[in-house]
Structure 1
Amino acid sequence: MNNLNLRHLHYFWVISRLGSVVAAADHLELTPQTLSGQLASLEAQLGGALFHRANRALQLTDFGHTVFSYADEMFKTAQALSDLVIKPAEGRPLRLAVGICASIHKLIAYRLLKPALELPRTVKLRCQTGDLSQLLKCLHQRSLNVILSDRPPADKDAPQVRCYALGRSSMSLFAVPELAQRLASDFPQSLNHQPFLATALDAPYITELKNWFASRNIAVNVVAEVDDSALIKVFGHQGVGYFAAPTVICDEVCRQYRVAHIAIINEVQDTLFAITRDHGSHDAAVQAIIEGPMAIVKSIENSDV
């Protein structure tokens, strides 16, 4: 340990995680030249090359992979300890950085975040949307505290994170009042060949909904594919077609977008998850998100929509 420069080892760990000297230098607030020099010193100290270049990208050597496995365990444990001992003092604002999968309905996201915003302590909230793989990278880099997702992480990511099931809602169909009234009659056969607004995102409930349509021999007439759940509702408000949204936010969808409820599809479910790092304890804001949605689950089960 007396001969091992832990600071240089930490620099190597950050470079390995971010994939380039430039990205690591920006993260560490150093110049790329300085960081390259520190990396060269570490390689000389350890007696072996840690990286080799392939198509202008850095790739770990076999020796580098071995060193990284030790460094990764060391610095994750050190960060968990740091998280424990530097918890904010009472009264100091909690900083909450949340990743939200783009396929999650934004009204649902707000309801999931609301318990954290209602804590007695001030919460400084920052939200970032994106696909799950992108958000998981940010979570591992500690730029996010928690991810709200409509699917659990893949098996390859599971050992590095914790996943909490927050709640589940059936899906409902909506349209402008005139179209909704027409589609509610002789449902679901009334949907045949009618204009449907579909999400372009790979949301799990979409696969279930397509299967539900197919099982009832309903020909789906997709008039628009949109990768933003709020924009779909705007198109719905303009009468372009009918759309699907979680039953639990039925009242808000109808009120905010001036549409009417057509029907509930209990066979199609939207399940929501909170994903956190697997190291360290949660602060009060993250814990409020994990524990708060039980009220949402109850409102789903008791919904009289």
Structure 2
Amino acid sequence: MDRLNYQHLFYFWNVVREGGVSRASEKLRLAQPTISGQLAVFEKTIGAKLFLKQGRNLVMTETGRTVFNYADEIFSLGRELAEALDNRPGARGQRLSVGVSNALHKLLVYRLLEPALNSAPPAHLICFEDKLERLLTELPVHGVDLVISDAPATSAADARIYNHLLGESAVAAFATPALHARCAEGFPHSLDGAPLLLPTTNTALRRSLDQWLDAHGLFPDIVAEIEDSALLKTFASAGAGLFMGPVAMREAIERQYGVELIGTLAGVSERFYAITAQRKVKHPCVAAILERARDFLTSPA
């Protein structure tokens, strides 16, 4: 293919965003056969199918997803260019699309991404939350620029994916004042029989906590296992049980959720990773995130 037809790309982009040819034709004020015909020409030009029919619905192929991700970035940059040329107040800088593992502490994620918001001009930040495995599939096709996780991508992941260790934090137990009064004395043995909220077994922190509890012979009352860290802390702030969190975010956790630190878990830490599709980081906001993470996360021994 010698030349990309951006009008065809624009039609395709709108069909995906609007959820079908019918809605896209209404938005663009074009007849449905016109858009369908242009999509057919586009598929012929690139030599691949963009959609497959499933009943009455159009479902993107793998090629379609790749094309859409690039199109989304292209037309987002176009909007930013128009705003910059118009000198509109509050115009945003470079677009940064981030995938966030749903097991991560949200306060820590904000702290990690804060450099992008404080850049000049501020980055246009787009965040997606999902399981790490699904987020990693978006990196090679440019669905996201960066994935933040508490576990590295394994060798089973795409070969074009690279791990950048941001640092680590010790882990501590937190609870509401009522539970704190009950569990602070005699820690960690006071956790035996205490109500505990745990992340689900597919998280790196949960595996570390299970090993630590076994090593100390502790059998807490596991009230709930919750994958989403924000939901887990919502339960904890209501007094449902104590939970484990990074010491690096102690002040923010205590302030936001009305809890207090009970004690630090000796030998347990959480590591945090930035995962990209490039070995050498080129995006300036990603470089700033990696640099600033050292301000509040320790380097592993």
What's 1:134 paired with?
Answer: 134
Aligned match of 1:114: 114
For structure 1, list consecutive stretches of 5 or more residues without a partner in the other structure: 12-21, 44-48, 61-67, 76-81
Determine if the alignment matches structure 1 residue 196 to structure 2 residue 196. Answer: yes
Q: Report the secondary structure of 1:293's partner residue.
A: helix
How far residue 203 of structure 1 moved from its aligned partner, in angstroms, is 1.5
The residue that corresponds to 1:102 in the other structure is 102
Q: For the structure 1 residues 183 and 291, does the alpha-carbon distance in structure 2 shift closer, same or farther, using more than 3 Å as the test?
A: same
Q: 2:296 aligned with 1:296, yes or no? A: yes
Q: TM-score, normalised by structure 1?
A: 0.70
Partner secondary structure for residue 139 of structure 1: coil
Q: CA separation of 1:296/1:158 partners in 2, compared to 1, >3 Å: closer, same or farther?
A: farther
Letter in 2 for 1:188: P
Residues 145/200 of structure 1: CA separation in 2 closer, same or farther (3 Å cut):
same
Identity %: 29
- Aligned-pair distance for 1:216? 1.2
Match runs of 1:222-301 below 5 Å: 222-278=222-278, 282-298=282-298
Q: For this pair of structures, how many residues does the alignment match?
A: 263
Q: Name 2:169's counterpart in structure 1.
A: 169
Q: Give the partner amino acid of 2:291.
A: E
**Partners of 2:46 and 2:178 in 1: CA distance:** 71
- On the 8 A contact 2:166/2:290 being kept in 1, the answer is yes
Does structure 2 retain, via aligned residues, the 8 Å contact 1:165–1:272?
Answer: yes
TM-align CA RMSD: 4.1
Deviation at 1:196, TM superposition (A): 0.6
Query: Quick one: structure 1 residues 165 and 40, their matched pair in 2 at CA, closer, same or farther if it must change by over 3 Å?
Result: same
Q: TM-score, normalised by structure 2?
A: 0.71
TM superposition shift of 1:33: 6.3
Query: Do the aligned partners of 1:99 and 1:148 also contact (CA within 8 Å) in 2?
Result: yes
Cα 1:192–1:116 change in 2 (3 A) is: same
Matches within 5 A, 1:33-44: none
**Post-superposition offset of 1:220:** 2.7
- C-alpha displacement at 1:243, in angstroms? 0.6
CA distance in 2, matches of 1:176, 1:34: 60
Matches within 5 A, 1:65-84: none
The 2-side partners of 1:275 and 1:31 are apart by 38
3-state SS of paired residue (2:164): strand
Q: 1:278 to 1:252 in 2, by over 3 A?
A: same
Q: Is the 8 A contact 1:5 1:42 kept in 2?
A: no
Tell whether the 8 Å contact from 1:191 to 1:218 is kept in structure 2 after alignment: yes
Unaligned runs of 5+ in 2: 9-14, 25-33, 68-73, 85-90
